[in-house]
Chains A and B, each alone.
Chain A
Amino acid sequence: MKKQATRDAYGQALLELGALYDNIVVLDADLSKSTKTVEFARAYPERFINAGIAEQNMMGMAAGLASCGKVVFASSFAIFATGRAFEQVRNSIAYAKLNVKICATHAGITVGEDGGSHQSVEDIALMRSVPNMTVIVPSDGISTRQALFQLYQHEGPAYLRLGRPAVPQVHDPELDFAIGRAVELRRGKDLSLMACGIMVSKALQAAEILAAEGIEVSVVDVLSIKPLDKEMIISKARESGALLTLEEHSIIGGLGSSICEVVCEYCPVPVTCLGINDLFGLSGSPEELLQYYGLGVEQIVEKARNLLKKK
């Protein structure tokens, strides 16, 4: 099975975009070899600016560049891009509605050995709470590339959440990505698994196991967290009568919370939110950490079985 890290797809897509559009500027904060903006930096050095280890200034410069007509892609690790520079993102980029795409890598616990200080479990919550901010969480290389092309065309601030490890391909190359649209990857009437990022392929694996037990589940990739595909969520809630949300993020304020907000208002059904239970991360290997924090395939299957009983 083909695997690619979403950050690698990002680096490649930036190269493609850089060749097509000369109004693109890319910024990084001394992490370009990790975020993969280094590819763009090598190809287009006159359009790459290293802010050094100064994320707040990076976001302010991004605003200044965007105010002069540039389409700016600014990268760092998720914790620093959305945490360290939160207020700059909020006041200089979002408040001003500028064309800056914050493309942060190393989101979630699969950062691995670097440990908790570097593992953002809050970035989706932070970014979606900011007005004017579009929040996209691609699940594989294909959705990452498509999201980038769409985000280039989209006028306004955006947050793109990328990860460190290589992930399986879950989408067709013909994926028709659109901001605000969720994509159903598997159809099943008993339960709907609403997942994002690295959890999408885990959800698909869990779906196979459940199918063998006679439980048919839908798997939906909620690529667009803000704006959320309300119609899809309501439709799945009505159809399955129960939703299991899955994210490599805190259960507070991320995908699960977004879905609960919609479901509670429009179609109350039992929802189980699977994510990181309000804890910081730890050092470990990515797979070990996913297990440790309850995000392994077997754990998903268990939660699904329990949720079925609540219907």
Chain B
Amino acid sequence: MRRIGEEELVLTSEKAGIIRQEIIKMLGEAGSGHTGGSLSAADMVACLYFWEMKLDPKKPDWVDRDRFVLSKGHAAPVLYAALAEKGFFPREYLKTLRKLGSPLQGHPDMRQLAGVEACTGSLGQGISWAVGMALAARIDKRDYRVYALLGDGELEEGMVWEATMAAAHYRLDNLLALVDNNGLQIDGKIAEVMSPEPITDKFAAFGWNTLEIDGHDHRQIMEALNSARSFKGSPTAIIARTTKGKGCSFMENRVEWHGTAPNREEVEKALAELA
């Protein structure tokens, strides 16, 4: 069990704040990208990168590293911000997001940027990669863990359930899926467009161990991560209730902030709130 104390919580809280600020700045600079879904994931990503995962930014190819797959690849800014903060590459790279020639592609590309484990963006595929990675660990008898972050809209892709079925079938307890359940997708609320509910029940029906948390409460995130790490025999799904756009009051829970980047004025307003 990893320690959840004052020190740890202060650290991840600080990191989540930095990650949110960097998300806003890089999207403002890029002029396009996915704001809401990046912000809703910031707390989970902060806890993963600054409390949970075994990583060495100086050794991105370290064979025993834990792997994080951003299956909801459009939230690339949250991943890029975490990687920069962790030291995988210089912070200056962040302002090149989505520009021609930049290693920070619109959706994560493992070939171009250290710390990125998969090429995602096409929803439903990252979780499948994660199952493959967990299987590789099993074959090689290595004890690294694999973490996949999915969107709730993403659960509408059938392939997600193929992967989910396979993970349970192969008893991949070295695999953890986190669902960023912010309730929104592009065309509206997930409940209205194509409801994937009940999410937790579905993972349970597929044979996974399940946990439900407030995805912005670092203590709950850490407790869930501790619990998942010790659960044997099945993979774990953490269904995290979140707010899309979390951290910026004028973006919170707004459908239109899915794939829009803040303009200069909005960047200033957002940074003021995040300060």
A176 contact set on B, CB distance < 8 A: none
Q: Type the 1/0 row for B144-175, where 1 means its CB is closer than 8 Å to any CB of A.
A: 00000000000000110011011001100000
Interface residues of A in 48-66 (CB under 8 A from B): 49, 51-52, 54, 56-57, 59-66
Across the two chains, which residue of chain A brings its CB closest to B163? A57
Among the listed A56, A69, A97, which residue makes an inter-chain contact with B128, where contact means beta carbons less than 8 Å apart?
A56
Chain B binder among A86-94, A114-122, A136-144, A205-213 = A86-94
Range class of the B interface residue count: 20 to 34
Q: Are B139 and A67 in contact (CB under 8 A)?
A: no
Across the two chains, which residue of chain B brings its CB closest to A100? B132
CB of A174 closer than 8 Å to a CB of B:
no
- CA distance in complex: A67, B117 (Å): 8
Q: Type the 1/0 row for A24-58, where 1 means its CB is closer than 8 Å to any CB of B.
A: 01000000000000000000001101011010110
CB of A70 closer than 8 Å to a CB of B:
yes
Interface residues of B in 111-129 (CB under 8 A from A): 111, 117-119, 121-122, 124-129
Interface of A (DSSP majority class): helix
A97 contact set on B, CB distance < 8 A: 111
CB of B27 closer than 8 Å to a CB of A:
no
A92 contact set on B, CB distance < 8 A: 118-119, 122, 125, 128-129
Q: Are B163 and A96 in contact (CB under 8 A)?
A: no
- CA distance in complex: A67, B134 (Å): 11
Q: Are A49 and B111 in contact (CB under 8 A)?
A: no
**Residue with the highest number of chain A CB atoms closer than 10 Å, among B129, B136, B159:** B129
CB of A68 closer than 8 Å to a CB of B:
yes
- CA distance in complex: A47, B140 (Å): 10
Q: Type the 1/0 row for B11-39, where 1 means its CB is closer than 8 Å to any CB of A.
A: 00000000000000000000000000000
- CA distance in complex: A176, B127 (Å): 41
- CA distance in complex: A49, B158 (Å): 20
In whole Å, how far is A26's beta carbon from the nearest beta carbon of chain B? 12
In whole Å, how far is A286's beta carbon from the nearest beta carbon of chain B? 32
B111 contact set on A, CB distance < 8 A: 96-97
CB within 8 Å for A61 and B118 given contacts A70-B136, A97-B111: no
Q: Type the 1/0 row for B56-71, where 1 means its CB is closer than 8 Å to any CB of A.
A: 0000000100000100
Q: Are A57 and B166 in contact (CB under 8 A)?
A: yes
Across the two chains, which residue of chain B brings its CB closest to A95? B119
Q: Are A60 and B119 in contact (CB under 8 A)?
A: no
Among the listed B117, B121, B131, which residue makes an inter-chain contact with A60, where contact means beta carbons less than 8 Å apart?
B131
- CA distance in complex: A66, B129 (Å): 9
B136 contact set on A, CB distance < 8 A: 25, 64-65, 68-70
Q: Are B132 and A65 in contact (CB under 8 A)?
A: yes
Among the listed B124, B125, B133, which residue makes an inter-chain contact with A67, where contact means beta carbons less than 8 Å apart?
B133
CB within 8 Å for A63 and B132 given contacts A88-B125, A91-B119, A92-B125: yes
Q: List 26 A-B contacts (CB under 8 A).
A: A47-B139, A49-B135, A49-B170, A56-B158, A56-B159, A57-B163, A60-B125, A60-B128, A60-B132, A61-B135, A63-B125, A63-B128, A64-B118, A64-B129, A64-B130, A64-B135, A65-B132, A65-B135, A70-B136, A88-B128, A91-B119, A91-B121, A92-B119, A92-B125, A92-B129, A96-B111
| B→A interface (CB under 8 Å) | 63, 69, 109-111, 117-119, 121-122, 124-137, 139-140, 158-159, 162-163, 165-166, 169-170
User: Which 7 pairs between the two chains have the least Cβ-Cβ distance?
Assistant: A64-B132, A60-B128, A57-B162, A68-B136, A61-B132, A64-B129, A54-B162
**18 extra interchain contacts, Cβ-Cβ under 8 A, other than A64-B128, A64-B130, A68-B137?**
A52-B166, A52-B169, A54-B166, A56-B158, A56-B162, A60-B124, A60-B128, A60-B129, A60-B132, A63-B119, A65-B132, A68-B132, A70-B136, A88-B125, A88-B128, A92-B118, A92-B122, A96-B110
